[in-house]
Structure 1
Amino acid sequence: MSLLSILIAAIAPGVALLSYFYLKDRYDPEPISLVLRLFFFGVLIVFPVMMLQRAFVQGFGENPFVFAFITSSLPEEFMKWFIVFFIIYKHTNFDEPYDGIVYSVAVSLGFATLENVLYALLNSMDFSTLLLRAFLPVSGHAMFGVMMGYHFGRAKFDPDGAAKHLALALLLPFFWHGVFDYTLYAAKGYWIWFMGPLMVFLWTRSLWKVKRANAKSPLRMATREDRVKI
């Protein structure tokens, strides 16, 4: 594959998934410039995460369980959570529960896209391998972003449960990301038999969260009232 083909194949899954979840915002789509800014922040955190992971490998070794949860999942999901919380959580454009999903997915896919590009360039991947990565790591990052964003949305619009949902916005992606990575490392030659059901579960759960977040939009209620008045 040519360099241009590799770059397109590595970038396309992240862009396609971000477009999909952006278009799922039924009532008040977010400013594209702001979504792209969060995507870019996701790209930027790849480098500090790589440094943290290198330090963790030297400190904890490469035990599959420790590597999956501590070296891989923890720094990645914490940095995504940190960006969403400090950059967008209190922003005026975050005005309905689904917005948490849009912004969290943008950060997650920014991270996943650059990670995918680096893997492709450093490992001379062919198209079939890049396609597999689109269905697994890139798609997985999107699902973890949905989990994170759903609970950011709950926290923003449920002040009484804000602390609980802010914690879940980090803990659930951390847990499922760790499960995802550990399955790949531990199952080895027969990982497909475990990853298939896991991905079906993650996608089914994520689409349910998308539907539920849209259903809780205050703008949905306003639209209904306007229809009744007409």
Structure 2
Amino acid sequence: MTSSNPRPGGRAPLPQQANPSWMGQVPDQHYRPAPANFAGQLQAALPPAVPAPRGGRRSTGAGGLVAGGGVLGFFSLFSVLPFVLGNTGIAGFVIGFVASLLPLAAVLLAVRVIDRWEPEPKSLLLFAFVWGAVVSISVTLLIQPYFSLAAGPVSGLDYRTFAVTVQAPVVEEFAKSLGLLLLLLFARRHFDGPVDGVVFAFTIAGGFAFTENILYFGRAIAESSDPGTDLAVVFFLRGVMSPFAHAIFTGTTGLILGLAARRWHNGLSVVAFAVGLIPAMLLHSGWNSMGQDFLAQYIVVQIPIFLLAVLVIVLLRVAERRLTRQRLKEYAAAGWFTAAEVEMVSTPAGRRAALRWARSIGRGPQMKAFLHTATQLAFTRQRILSGRDVPAHQLDEQHLLSDVVGLRAAVVH
């Protein structure tokens, strides 16, 4: 909540609405005004119809992560591809691959919708997909036998029940979420908060489900006396009824890691990783535990979980827009934006109107870059106010403010 009382040490009180939502809470001791713009009056990058009232973030760690992910993905193919082909055969693999593209498209479309406000670098999304589709599968294949030997006898369950309800949830969620932890540790400037955590988690889970679907669909072809019918049944269960199952499981870990990214340093982020695995494993185990009363449990339990996930994502998007508006208002007070520009950047309708106008005069790419950079700036300021890695983020802030000035000029001149 905001406060009108003087802050310790004689500092001015937090401005009204400095904490615009639960997603943008600012510790009182870390608040600082935006740097002033002494360059003079602004010529706003506004379309005439809007009433008045850059480049990417710099991170050497992200580049190394993507390169390392590519190497891991390449070598993981030597374990994953023979395993899948050995279970499906060539014909099953090809048919399974094609059929798996449909549920994958649904997950990636959801990622695109969630990520539209402040898009993540395509290179990191590619890393996330490769991690999910290849590396996490390889990690799963590597760990499963050891986990089974260590935990199977202790569980007291028969092997099939143990494999389905304990082994798969624990090992698979660990393997998928390990990619999330690497993104948080080595590409932290791009891991802004819970929305980014969900985006990366959905992408990793979409990749994992893609490869797993190839295996299941292909095996329905290779091992069945009636492959057409069996493929249709398996596709309906996995591709129609549950294309987002893995995304929701791993999404809970991504959400918790994203919340941790807002405030915590790397050591506590590892703790958040361990905590975030718990709901993912429980959801995964609950899904795998559904038996003869599958349809009833699906309707009573799984559909509400899916609807709750949709609601959480909608609330995250609303909080993201409110955070963008408030942080840009603070830059506007320092002379970097006009009030109308803040409204334009922080509302979907304002962005659409701005892009239509800019495209009509041949400056669509410049306006798109201006909107993207202004949004990056808002989230960079949030990281500064969180008190985490402040000098590095202030350097990012300086670059982004310079980019905003240049992109504004490119739009209006």
Q: TM-score, normalised by structure 1?
A: 0.83
Structure 1 residue aligned with 2:299, among 193, 196, 215?
196
Q: Which amino acid aligns with 1:37?
A: F
Structure 1 residue aligned with 2:180, among 65, 73, 84?
84
User: Structure 1 pair 194/94, CA: closer, same or farther in 2 (3 Å)?
Assistant: same
User: Between Structure 1 and Structure 2, which shows a larger proportion of helix residues?
Assistant: 1
Q: Which amino acid aligns with 2:285?
A: G
**Structure 1 residue aligned with 2:12:** none
Structure-to-structure mapping, 1:129-144, within 5 angstroms: 129-144=234-249
Identical-pair percentage: 20
SS at match of 1:74: helix
Cα drift, residue 41 of structure 1: 0.7
Matched residues in 2 for 1:2 and 1:113: separation?
A: 14
Deviations, residues 16-61 of structure 1 (Å, cap 9, x unaligned): 2122132122421112332122111111221331343345456625
Q: How many residues align?
A: 225
**Structure 2 residue aligned with 1:27:** 117
**Structure 2 residue aligned with 1:229:** 339
Matched residues in 1 for 2:250 and 2:190: separation?
A: 18
1:8 paired with 2:98, answer: yes
- Comparing 122-131 with 36-45, greater Cα deviation is found at 122-131
Contact 1:97 1:216 in 2 (8 A): no
**Structure 1 residue aligned with 2:274:** 167
1:49 paired with 2:140, answer: yes
Structure 2 residue aligned with 1:74, among 151, 161, 170?
170
Q: Which amino acid aligns with 1:177?
A: H
User: Structure 1 pair 147/115, CA: closer, same or farther in 2 (3 Å)?
Assistant: same
Q: Which amino acid aligns with 1:192?
A: L
User: Structure 1 pair 50/214, CA: closer, same or farther in 2 (3 Å)?
Assistant: same
Structure 2 residue aligned with 1:62, among 159, 162, 169?
159
Matched residues in 2 for 1:212 and 1:133: separation?
A: 27
**Structure 1 residue aligned with 2:10:** none
Matched residues in 2 for 1:13 and 1:202: separation?
A: 19
In structure 1, the gaps of 5 or more residues are none
Matched residues in 1 for 2:169 and 2:263: separation?
A: 27
Contact 2:96 2:217 in 1 (8 A): yes
User: Structure 1 pair 10/175, CA: closer, same or farther in 2 (3 Å)?
Assistant: same
Cα drift, residue 220 of structure 1: 4.7
**Structure 1 residue aligned with 2:261:** 156
Matched residues in 2 for 1:220 and 1:62: separation?
A: 54
- Comparing 1-10 with 134-143, greater Cα deviation is found at 1-10
Structure 1 residue aligned with 2:206, among 84, 109, 118?
109
Matched residues in 2 for 1:3 and 1:53: separation?
A: 23
Matched residues in 1 for 2:170 and 2:256: separation?
A: 18
Deviations, residues 161-207 of structure 1 (Å, cap 9, x unaligned): 85764333211101111111112xxx23x311112222212212211
Contact 1:25 1:214 in 2 (8 A): no
Q: Which amino acid aligns with 1:14?
A: L
What stretches of structure 1 move > 6 A for 4+ residues in a row? 224-228
Cα drift, residue 137 of structure 1: 5.0
SS at match of 1:39: helix
Larger radius of gyration: 2
Deviations, residues 112-166 of structure 1 (Å, cap 9, x unaligned): 1101001111221423421321145542101112212111111111339857643
Contact 1:69 1:178 in 2 (8 A): yes
User: Structure 1 pair 41/2, CA: closer, same or farther in 2 (3 Å)?
Assistant: closer
Contact 2:201 2:250 in 1 (8 A): yes
User: Structure 1 pair 41/11, CA: closer, same or farther in 2 (3 Å)?
Assistant: same
Q: Which amino acid aligns with 1:159?
A: W
Contact 2:192 2:258 in 1 (8 A): no
Q: Which amino acid aligns with 1:82?
A: L
1:39 paired with 2:129, answer: yes
SS at match of 2:141: helix
Contact 1:105 1:145 in 2 (8 A): yes
In structure 2, the gaps of 5 or more residues are 1-90, 153-157, 222-229, 341-413
Cα drift, residue 211 of structure 1: 2.2
**Cα RMSD (Å) of the superposition?**
2.8
Contact 2:220 2:231 in 1 (8 A): no
